[in-house]
Amino acid sequence: MQHPFGSGKMGNESADLAFTDPLTGLGNLRRFFDKIDRLILDRADDPAPFAIGILDLDGFKPINDLFGRRAGDNILQQVAMRLKASMDQHSTVARVGADEFAFLYPLVFSEEAAQERALMLIEILSAPYDVGDRTARLSASAGCSLFYSGEENTETLISKAETALYHAKRSGRGKVMVYTREMEEAARRVTHIEQALRRAVAAEEVEPHFQPIVELKTGHVIGFEALARWTDRDLGVIPPNVFIPIAEERGIIGALSQLLLRKATETARNWPDELFLSFNLSPSQLVDQNTAQQVLAILARTGFDPRRLEIEITETGLMTDPASAEKIVNDLRAVGIRVSLDDFGTGQSSLGRLREFHFDKLKIDRSFVSSILEDKPSEHIIRAILAMCEGLGMNVVAEGIEEEAQADRLVEFGCAGGQGYLFGKPSDAEATMAYLREAYRGMVRDRRRG
C-alpha cells in the first residue's frame, strides 16, 4: 500500500510541509499535537509528568498596523528564532496561531519549573526587535499545563493550557499562569455568565443606570453618564466589572452597547435640553469601522440630538488601533457628538495623542482624586492636567469624588466638572427623573432667594 504522502524523498518533503509553518520554519499545530501524542504513548506504562505551554504575543496587532505586514512577518520570524534557540535538545517549540506559539518540555516535572521556563521565554522575547532602521518591543503571556496521568490526552492538555493563558492575559501583560482546577471552575462560571448575558441582551434585560455629572462650583447637574447594570433571573446581580470584560472577550460587546445606547437615549430625550448624556465605547468598538454608523443609526431612531451626546473612550481603547479609533472619533465629531478621554493618566497613550485626536473633554481618573487630600504627587498631577487642558481648550471632569473636601480642593485648583458618590450613585431611569425634578426644584428655590 502506498504511503499517503507518496514515497521516497518527495513523500518525506510533503509530509514535512504538512507539519511545518511556512513563515517561521517551526512545526505547526499538527506537529505539536503529534509530538504530545507520541510522548503520551511513550509514557503509557510509566506516566512521568511533562509540561506544555501556549505563549501569546501581547499587542502584536498594533505593531503589525504600525510597521506593516511584512515587518510583522519579520518580527514573527525573529520570535521563532529566539524561541528555537532557547530550547534544549529534548524540547519543542511550534507556531500554532497567528501570534501564538506552543512549547513542550518533556523533562519538566513540576508547576514551579514550568512557570520558571515560561517566564524565561517571556524575558527572551521582551528584548527589542529590529524593524528596518527602527526597533519594536513586544511582551508575551503564557499558559502552562502538566501531564500527570495516562487518563489525560493531548486535547485536554492543550485546553488546560489555553484556560491558563486566558487567566494570564486577564491578569495583565507579561504574566505566566499554570493550570489549576480552580481555573477550570472559573472558566465554567465565565461560560455560564456568557450564555446568560447573550440571553439577557437578546431579551433586552440589561439596563442603563445614570450617574450625575455636576458643575463643581454650584453643584448643578449638567449631564449624566450611562452605566450598564444587569440582574439575571438565575445568577442575581452581576457586577459590570465581571460582565463587561466577558462581553468584550466573547464578542457580545457590540450588541450590548447598541442596546444600552438605544435605551439610554430613549430616557435622556425626556430630560431638559441643556443636559448631556455621556456614553462609553469599548476598545473593541474602536477597531470596528461600523461603530460610528451604528451610533448615528440609533440616534436617528430615538430622535436624540447628537449635540447632546458625549462619547467616552479610554486610553487603552485608543492604543489598540489608533488609526481606526481616529477615523471613528472624526466621524462622530463631524455630526456634533463630543468625545471625551476617560481614565486619563492610567493608560498607555502619549500626550501627543491629545493634540492629534482633538478631544472635547478629559476625565481625571478616580485614583488621583481619591488621594488628592493626603498625597502631594496626586495633587501635582491634577494641577498639571488642569493647566494642560486649559491650554488645549478642553473641559475637565474629575471622577470618583466622595467627600466635600475633595470637591472643594478641585474647585480651588480650577476644575469645572465633577462626578462621584458625593453627587449621586448610578440610578435607573425612573429614579433619575425623580432626582432631576428635585434638583430643578432646588435651582428654582435658589433663584427665588437670589
Q: What are phi and psi of 261, to 5 degrees?
A: -65, -40
Measuring CA to CA, how many Å separate 338 from each of 284, 351, 354, 415? 20, 19, 14, 19
Mean pLDDT taken over the chain: 90
| Angle subtended at Cα 304 by Cα 244 and Cα 366, rounded to the nearest 5 degrees | 40
Q: Which residues contact 162 (CB under 8 A, 6 or more apart)?
A: 54, 143
CATH topology of 13-179 equal to that of 196-449? no
Q: Are 70 and 88 in contact (CB under 8 A)?
A: no
Closest CA to 320 of 349, 343, 279: 349
Under 8 Å between Cβ of 216 and 417: yes
Instruction: Note whether 32 and 94 are within 8 A (CB).
Output: yes
Average pLDDT rounded to a whole number, residues 366-374: 91
Name the grid cell of 179.
Answer: 493550570
Mean pLDDT of 364-393: 91
The sheet carrying 139-147 orders its strands as: 92-95, 100-105, 50-58, 139-147, 176-178
Residue 205 identity (one-letter amino acid): E
Mean pLDDT to the nearest integer, 324-351: 84
Choice among 194, 274, 399, 438 that is catalytic: 399
d(Cα 309, Cα 333) in Å, to the nearest integer?
10
399 labelled catalytic: yes
Asked if residues 231 and 428 have their Cβ atoms less than 8 Å apart, the reply is no
Domain spans, the chain: 13-179, 196-449
Please determine, looking at this structure, whether the domain spanning 196-449 carries the CATH number 3.20.20.450.
yes
pLDDT single digits (tens) 199-237: 999 999 999 999 999 999 999 999 999 999 999 999 999
Query: What CA–CA distance (Å, rounded) separates 198 from 124?
Result: 40
User: In three state form, how does the secondary structure of the chain look?
Assistant: CCCCCCCHHHHHHHHHHHCECCCCCCECHHHHHHHHHHHHHHCCCCCCCEEEEEEEEECHHHHHHHHCHHHHHHHHHHHHHHHHHCCCCCCEEEECCCCEEEEEECCCCCHHHHHHHHHHHHHHHCCCEEECCEEECCEEEEEEEEECCCCCCHHHHHHHHHHHHHHHHHCCCCCEEECCHHHHHHHHHHHHHHHHHHHHHHCCCCEEEEEEEEECCCCCEEEEEEEEEEEECCCEEECHHHHHHHHHHCCCHHHHHHHHHHHHHHHHCCCCCCCEEEEECCHHHHHCCCHHHHHHHHHHHHCCCHHHEEEEEEHHHHHHCHHHHHHHHHHHHCCCCEEEEEEECCCCCCCHHHHHHCCCEEEECHHHHCCCCCCHHHHHHHHHHHHHHHHHCCEEEECCCCCHHHHHHHHHHCCCEEECCCCCCCECHHHHHHHHHHHHHHHHHHHHHC
Reference 361, options 397, 400, 319, 314; nearest CA is 397
User: Mean pLDDT, to the nearest integer, of 287-312?
Assistant: 96
Q: Using an 8 Å Cβ cutoff, are 193 and 246 in contact?
A: yes
Q: How far apart are CA 425 and CA 227, in angstroms?
A: 11
Region 32-58: mean pLDDT is: 92
- pLDDT at 217 (0 to 100): 94
| Residues 131-146: tens digit of each pLDDT | 888 888 889 999 999 9
The pLDDT, as a whole number, for residue 355 is 72
Q: C-alpha grid cell for residue 375?
A: 498625597
Cβ-based neighbour number of residue 22 at 10 Å = 8
Largest separation between any pair of C-alpha atoms in the chain = 102
Q: What is the topology classification, in CATH, of domain 13-179?
A: Alpha-Beta Plaits (3.30.70)
Q: How confident is the model over 57-110, as pLDDT tens digits?
A: 987 877 777 788 888 999 999 999 999 999 999 999 999 999 999 999 999 999
Q: Decide if pLDDT at 317 tops 60.
A: yes
Q: Which residues pair with 147 in a beta bridge?
A: 50
Query: Which candidate, 297, 290, 207, 194, places its Cα nearest to that of 248?
Result: 194
Q: Which of these, 249, 264, 320, lies nearest to 288 by C-alpha position?
A: 320
- With cut-offs at 50, 70 and 90, classify the pLDDT of residue 443: low
pLDDT value at 10 more than 50: no
- Specify the pLDDT at position 348: 53
Q: Can you tell me the distance from the alpha carbon of 315 to that of 353, in angstroms, rounded to the nearest whole number?
A: 9
**Contact status, residue 440 vs residue 272, Cβ threshold 8 Å:** yes
| C-alpha separations of 187 from 140, 156, 184, 194 in Å | 21, 14, 5, 10
Q: What's the start-to-end Cα distance of the chain, in Å?
A: 101
